[in-house]
Amino acid sequence: MEKVIVCKFGGSSLSNSDQFRTVKEIMEADERRRVLVPSAPGKSQDEKHKVTDLLLMCYQLASHNLLFDEIYNLVRGRFIQIRDDLGLTLKIEEELDAVREAIAAGASSDYCASRGEYLCGKLLADYMGFRFVDAEEVIRLRGGKADVKASSRLIREHIVEGESVVVPGFYGLNEKGDLQTLSRGGSDITGAIMAAGVKAVVYENWTDVSGFLAADPTIVEDSAPIKTITYNELRELSYMGAMVLHEEAIFPVRDLNIPIHIKNTNAPQDVGTAIVPDWRAEERTQVVTGISGKKDYTVIRVEKTHMSEDLSFYRKLLSVFETNDIPIEHMPTSIDTISIVVATSLIKAREKKIREEISIYCNPERIVFEHDLAIVAVVGRGMISTKGTSATLFTALAEDGINVRMISQGSSEMNIIVGVSNEDFEAAIRAIHDKFMRS
């Protein structure tokens, strides 16, 4: 079978005609790059807004019977400008008029939002000399999520081996046959579905950074780039807020062992980050891969002597959170105490109610709410086999005078979660980063 690389380019990589030129150079530098998945043009130095946001604004105005041309003309202007700058002859005005008419006639918000990718795909296909394949033909959603199986079947039916195609990101058809968008940033998912469908050798995700950094650069100034990370490590890190790639983009390719490369469109020579399946874990030399975290959690500490002897206790306690639709982030336990960690924003206004319900249902001796907890996730598959990792971690925090309020280690031993006060959050990340990444 032919070797294919699927390339997804993000909105900032397609924000103007110069970026289109760069994209073409990148695509032509490797003949295996034959499937191109674009986002809608995004922000740049000169462009203040993402096309998707402009289109959603058009929808909002139109759905309230208000005039939307002022905004739509911004969208129009951007596509025409790119077409003219590149010297293309494609009659994009006809497409633009048809979209305008559809919005005026009451098209759905998903349809409106998707047109940025559609129009961008049309221009790119013309510019690259690739065939345009509408996402409606090959991308299927079920229950709002990617239906990889159904999509892969259609991809194999519609795309001939060896041909070069542009498939717009971010949308497809749902089980009812209606156009539906994926969640925001969803072109990453389309790229992954396409990679799965054509069994790509690699899925390249081109964006405006040279991959993942080991820690948030606004906290750690010269944080090291991560060269390789496993799918699982990335899950742990992105869940905690280190988003460069849409987290759902991992699933379509993971089972097929297709690596994802995060690359910088404006610095293609940079290595970027390779997201690889676990089987390459032995290549790992570093103990910690990355550190991420989030502020503003609440710990609800529930105390009851001999709680583990009451077989229904945990079920009852958890059902209070389940029935209030509050997701639990972590749940460290000791003999007579269980701590439930939840996002403060989800519990703040309902504190009294939750306290009452736990009291009625679980009859504990004490319930304590503690706010202002920050969670730091230290992730790395090297941690499993390296003795003294926890000792080093906690020494680093103690040396910098940071009090640890909570500890939770997953049984996979791939992550250690540390709870510190909100005000110690940045210092904790710096202390851990400096200990593991600089020494």
User: By beta-carbon distance, which residue lies closest to ligand ASP?
Assistant: 187
Which of 43/284 has CB closer to ligand ASP?
43
Phi/psi of residue 220, each to 5°? -110, 110
- Which contiguous run of DSSP H or E holds residue 419? strand 415-421
Which of 43/158 has CB closer to ligand ASP?
43
CA–CA dist 136, 171 (Å, integer): 7
Binding residues among 32-71 for ligand ASP as defined by CB under 6 A = 39-40, 50, 52
Site map (CB under 6 A) of ligand ASP, residues 141-170, x = contact:
----------------------------xx
At closest approach, how far in Å is the CB of 55 from ligand ASP?
9
Q: Coil, helix or strand for 131?
A: strand
Q: What is the CA radius of gyration of the chain?
A: 25
Phi/psi of residue 116, each to 5°? -60, -45
Interaction between residue 121 and ligand ASP (CB under 6 A): no
At closest approach, how far in Å is the CB of 38 from ligand ASP?
9
Torsion, Cα of 104, 107, 113, 119 (10° steps):
-70
Number of other CB atoms surrounding residue 187 within 10 Å = 31
Half-sphere exposure at residue 319, Cβ-oriented, CA atoms within 13 angstroms: 9
On whether the CB atoms of residues 386 and 414 are closer than 8 A, the answer is no
At closest approach, how far in Å is the CB of 244 from ligand ASP?
12
Binding residues among 101-120 for ligand ASP as defined by CB under 6 A = 116
Site map (CB under 6 A) of ligand ASP, residues 168-187, x = contact:
-xx-------------xxxx
Binding residues among 190-229 for ligand ASP as defined by CB under 6 A = none
- Output b/e per residue, 220-253; b: 16+ Cβ within 10 A: beebeebebbbbbbbbbbbbbebebbbbbbbbbb
CA–CA dist 424, 397 (Å, integer): 10
At closest approach, how far in Å is the CB of 171 from ligand ASP?
9
Q: Could you write out the DSSP letters of every residue in 385-401? A: T-TTHHHHHHHHHHHTT
Q: Where are the beta strands (DSSP E) in 304-365?
A: 337-343
At closest approach, how far in Å is the CB of 169 from ligand ASP?
5
Contact with ligand ASP (CB under 6 A): which of 4, 11, 14, 275?
A: 11
Instruction: Write out the two tokens for 363.
Output: 């009859």
At closest approach, how far in Å is the CB of 155 from ligand ASP?
19
At closest approach, how far in Å is the CB of 317 from ligand ASP?
37
Which of 127/170 has CB closer to ligand ASP?
170
Count of residues of this chain found to bind ligand ASP when the rule CB under 6 A is applied: 13
Which of 169/293 has CB closer to ligand ASP?
169
* Interacting residue ranges for ligand ASP, rule: CB under 6 A: 11, 39-40, 50, 52, 116, 169-170, 184-188
